[in-house]
Amino acid sequence: MAQSSALWGGRFREGMADIAHRFSSGIQWDSKLWREDIRASIAHARMLGAQDIISEQEAASIIEGLEAIAREIESGEFQFDDSMEDVHLAIEARLTEKIGPVGGKLHTGRSRNDQIVTDERLYLKSAIPGLSSKASELIEALLDKADEYIEAIMPGYTHLQRAQPVLLSHHLMAYVQMFARDCERLDDLTDRVNRSPLGSAALAGTSYPIDREMTSHDLGFERPTRNSIDAVSNRDYLVELASDCSIAMMHLSRLAEELILWSTREFGFVSMSDKVTTGSSIMPQKRNPDMAELIRGKVGSVYGSLFALLTMMKGLPLSYNRDMQEDKPAMFTVLETTLDSIEMMTLVIRETTFHPERMERAVRAGDLMATEIADYLARKGVPFREAHHIAGSIVAKAEELNLTLEQAPLSEYQAFSELFEADVFECLDPMRSIQAKQSAGSTNPEMVRQAIADWRASLG
């Protein structure tokens, strides 16, 4: 059975094949934009009446009908019919049922091409600040943990090898910086989204004397878009959204990976509460960091959406092409997955207990103070490259003797340089090493405290 061709006017003599209709329908996705579609339609109808393109009475009837449909959808009285191709046709068909042929006048001076981009931009204008708000909550959770463990010492890593001692709070503040940049990128995107495409029509604009400034202001946009072809064919705001969220998900995944590693018995740096872990079906001793693992895993769907959008757009001639219908699954996947992942990570952080004694034991068990030995010699005039070589030789000798750097006798140090004195062992205290850092942005406790205070002030 073929679908009716009534919606498409007199050009078509046969209806669309059922399989073609099912293949091309996007209403399961764009019906999520019904609020934005009705809001934009009300603004358009109000403008049509103000410009005498339709009568004020007709505009009022259309607006009243649209408001009634919104109430029907909210209450569940009106359900979107899969036989309709998209949200625009579904709402217009219901409007015509309610108020008669005048409902068809709503489409004067516009196209579904400018409708959908208007709906998407309206949706993003509220969704993007929601993402930033959730990211700010995650930042607050990290600040709380940094405050709680302000003087806890841990091994800092490079190449996943113990490198130098740092404060746990300093490590956590690194993620604060990452998520803050994610917020900055999203806020920057909001400025580019805040343009109204409504009135661009199919691609060339319209011969009706519409007032795009009026509808733009009515919908809360900063201003109308400046080129009708670009307005209906542009999806780079969605590519940018997916890119920004991919970066945020990458940051979430890195933090998740560290928490997963740290929760193993091999590390033992953290424990996660029952709220964010699961057990095993056959191994009763297990406490699995499933929520962190799922955050790490969900990165793939956001990355995939970014590449789906890039691939969809890469070969499209101007202006609108039906390929662009596939933007909405990607848009909603990106927004929902990123929002859920940020919210879940906030809970994971709040439900994580750190074990400073295990972290400090890891610091003292290794040779993390080797750089301090090199710096000790450098401060006595030895060129740093030579000091570095001497420090490495001492590390090798301590390993040969199965001793830590603190346990090795002064005589072993002096065998490599007569400049070593008893005060070298003072340099081997991890907290003293941390406190000695003077460069801006370092792990120095006072600098970390100030960084936390500055971030709390900026968040209000």
Q: Which residues are known to be catalytic?
A: 159, 280
Could you give the CA distance from residue 345 to residue 293 in angstroms, rounded to a whole number? 11
Write phi, then psi, for 22 (nearest 5 degrees): -65, -40
245: how many CB neighbours lie within 10 A of its CB? 30
380: how many CB neighbours lie within 10 A of its CB? 12
Name the region of 456 (left: φ>0; alpha: ψ -120 to 50; beta: rest): alpha
3-state secondary structure of 162: strand
Residue type, 41: S
Beta strands per DSSP E along 100-227: 153-158, 161-167, 195-196, 223-224
Residue (of 70, 73, 67, 107) closest to 88 by Cα position = 107
Place of tokens 């890593």: 157
Tokens for 75? Answer: 């209450």
In order, the DSSP letters of 65-104 are HHHHHHHHHHHTSS---TTSSSHHHHHHHHHHHHH-GGGG
Could you give the CA distance from residue 324 to residue 160 in angstroms, rounded to a whole number? 43
Residue (of 256, 334, 261, 343) closest to 300 by Cα position = 334
401: how many CB neighbours lie within 10 A of its CB? 12
Torsion of CA 104, 110, 113, 116, to 10 degrees: -80
Place of tokens 């509220």: 126
Residue (of 396, 418, 422) closest to 409 by Cα position = 422
Residue 133 C-beta-side C-alpha neighbours within 13 Å: 5
Angle (CA) 57-215-80 rounded to 5° is 75
